[in-house]
Structure 1
Amino acid sequence: MTMLVVGATGSVGRLVVAELLAHGHTTRALVRNTARAKRLLPPEAEIIVADVTRPDTLTAAVDGVDGVVLTLGSDGGAHSSPQNVDYAGVRNVLTALSALDETPRIVLMTAIGITSRSAGYGHLLDWKRRSERLVRASGLPYAIVRPGWFDMNGPEEHRPVFLQGDTRRTGTPADGVIARKDIAQVLVQALTAPQATRRTFELVAEAGPVQPDLSHLFANLTPDAPGALDGDGDEPNMPLDQEPEHVRDDLAAVRGRSDA
């Protein structure tokens, strides 16, 4: 299949590119900087130059794709703020996908503890959570993966564990850890496994080996309720009527396209 990785030169995105290629998929890497992409990505990857903050650049990137993995992450700069990238970037990709005749699958990577609303994270987690809501409202088949702390696992901790309800919210590695390479494996399998459809889950690792087939773990998860804004078991602590007006407008627009 033809897969698109958005955030392809990031620390997880580049591993997703390699994992998709290893599974035999035609893999497009959406990047802003060609030189950086050629330095970091396998030569077999098809490099697509675009910018998620500029919707007009995304049409060619999404044309004909069967699946999209979103591993977006802002760097805090004026161009790359959580609102512009983690949220609006996802919105802009979904808008581009809505023009397709096909129905591609979406896998969105966010973060464990996303529902904490802790001031310690600034607004980062709130914008990531809003991006999750857009994906759920899109009507596209999706999976949303919330990894724990990157690469803080021990050498024997590679057995993936899926959690739901986002109850680990201390904002420390005590919430769970996971290797970036193991995150990439889960994201790629979630893109093609039917058992992962409409699942939202936290991803951590415990002692044990990598598991080559994760379909049974996906199957054990509870799907998100139809029409729900949040993941199964999430604390309802972000009321829609208290959200910024433009966020409510974006959700209404995405829902309107999915109903069309």
Structure 2
Amino acid sequence: MSQQQNITDVLMVGATGSFGRIAVQAAQHHGLRPRALVRDIRRAEKLLPGVELVHGDLEDPASLRRALHGADALVLTHGSGSDSRPDARAHIDYGGVRNILLALGDARPRVALMTSVCATRHDVPGANPWKRRSERLLRASGLPYTIVRPGWFDHADPTQRRLVLDQGGTADGGIARDQITETLVRSLLTDSALGKTFELTATDGEEQNDWSVLLSALKADAPRSVDGILDPANLPVTAEPQALRADLDAAGSPRKAG
């Protein structure tokens, strides 16, 4: 397994959530040094004993600048699920990524972003276009990235451990949480994951171990494209609100493209 850059210090965003805590463990297992972005230090100390904690809020860019300092990589598993605001997805799922990118300045950490298997779909009840919009910001930023779109977590049988990596937005199926977080962390450490977006589910069979082979079979996103390589053209950027188009322009400014 080769590495595109030397990665040691990983900022975990969403670290106290059900995915984030498992992602922290996966990072530790692979010899990385995770730092957890948290809003409530005292609560996080109980959930993540022994893990370095850094205070920050996805809606407070100033706090993010401090938290991001020195990070070699980011694992983003945050989500708006527990936020009751009607516009929580815009503020957290999307706004969190926007604020992180703005707070990074000239820093260029490697990024693993978790979104959803339904990110590009309009035919699934509850599908969230804000996750796709967050993906677009990351691609526009020019940062080294991998975008993982997991299937229905906790809907995989114990015998379903064989990973299925798809592209094009039509995949459907379940996946275990530990497989999602393992994929996110492995993507930081595998060259063939760079610049790729894919859906992740599982089927009957044993889990594969050769991540380079798994990820090499995928197509990389087209340079300068804001969408994944095989994504359906069902959310035209030109039809998006002006504020969102301005965010894309800001994310892709020369200081970030590097």
TM-based fold match above 0.5:
yes
Q: Where do residues 162-177 of structure 1 align in structure 2 (5 Å cutoff)?
A: 162-168=165-171, 175-177=172-174
Q: Where do residues 34-113 of structure 1 align in structure 2 (5 Å cutoff)?
A: 34-43=41-50, 45-74=51-80, 75-78=82-85, 81-100=88-107, 103-113=108-118
What is the TM-score when the length of structure 1 is the normalising length?
0.91
Are the structure 2 counterparts of residues 18 and 155 from structure 1 closer, same or farther at C-alpha, using a change threshold of 3 Å?
same
Q: Mean Cα displacement is larger for which, 91-100 or 151-160?
A: 91-100
Tell me, yes or no, if the aligned pair for 1:65 and 1:104 is still in contact at 8 Å.
yes
What residue ranges of structure 1 are gaps of 5+ in the alignment? 169-174
Displacement, 1:151?
A: 1.3
How large is the RMSD of aligned CA atoms in angstroms?
1.6
CA distance in 2, matches of 1:105, 1:252: 20
SS of 2:18's partner is coil
SS of 1:203's partner is strand
CA distance in 1, matches of 2:166, 2:188: 18
CA distance in 2, matches of 1:83, 1:77: 12
**1:123-180: per-residue Cα shift (whole Å, max 9, x none)?**
x621110000000000001000000001111111111110000113xxxxxx210000
- Matching residue within 143, 155, 158 for 2:158: 155
Equivalent residue for 1:116? 121
Displacement, 1:94?
A: 1.0
Q: Where do residues 1-260 of structure 1 align in structure 2 (5 Å cutoff)?
A: 1-43=8-50, 45-74=51-80, 75-78=82-85, 81-100=88-107, 103-118=108-123, 120-121=125-126, 125-168=128-171, 175-256=172-253, 257-259=255-257
Q: Mean Cα displacement is larger for which, 131-140 or 28-37?
A: 28-37
Tell me, yes or no, if the aligned pair for 1:18 and 1:42 is still in contact at 8 Å.
no
Tell me, yes or no, if the aligned pair for 1:5 and 1:13 is still in contact at 8 Å.
yes
Tell me, yes or no, if the aligned pair for 2:106 and 2:256 is still in contact at 8 Å.
no
SS of 2:75's partner is strand
Tell me, yes or no, if the aligned pair for 1:182 and 1:210 is still in contact at 8 Å.
no
Percent identical among aligned pairs is 46
What residue ranges of structure 2 are gaps of 5+ in the alignment? 1-7
CA distance in 1, matches of 2:216, 2:27: 22
Displacement, 1:119?
A: 7.2
Are the structure 2 counterparts of residues 62 and 80 from structure 1 closer, same or farther at C-alpha, using a change threshold of 3 Å?
farther
Q: Mean Cα displacement is larger for which, 236-245 or 127-136?
A: 236-245
**1:83-129: per-residue Cα shift (whole Å, max 9, x none)?**
000001001111122243xx2101110000211124721xx621110
Are the structure 2 counterparts of residues 229 and 162 from structure 1 closer, same or farther at C-alpha, using a change threshold of 3 Å?
same
Equivalent residue for 1:172? none
SS of 1:12's partner is helix
Tell me, yes or no, if the aligned pair for 1:142 and 1:197 is still in contact at 8 Å.
yes
Equivalent residues, number: 249
Tell me, yes or no, if the aligned pair for 2:110 and 2:143 is still in contact at 8 Å.
yes
Displacement, 1:62?
A: 0.8
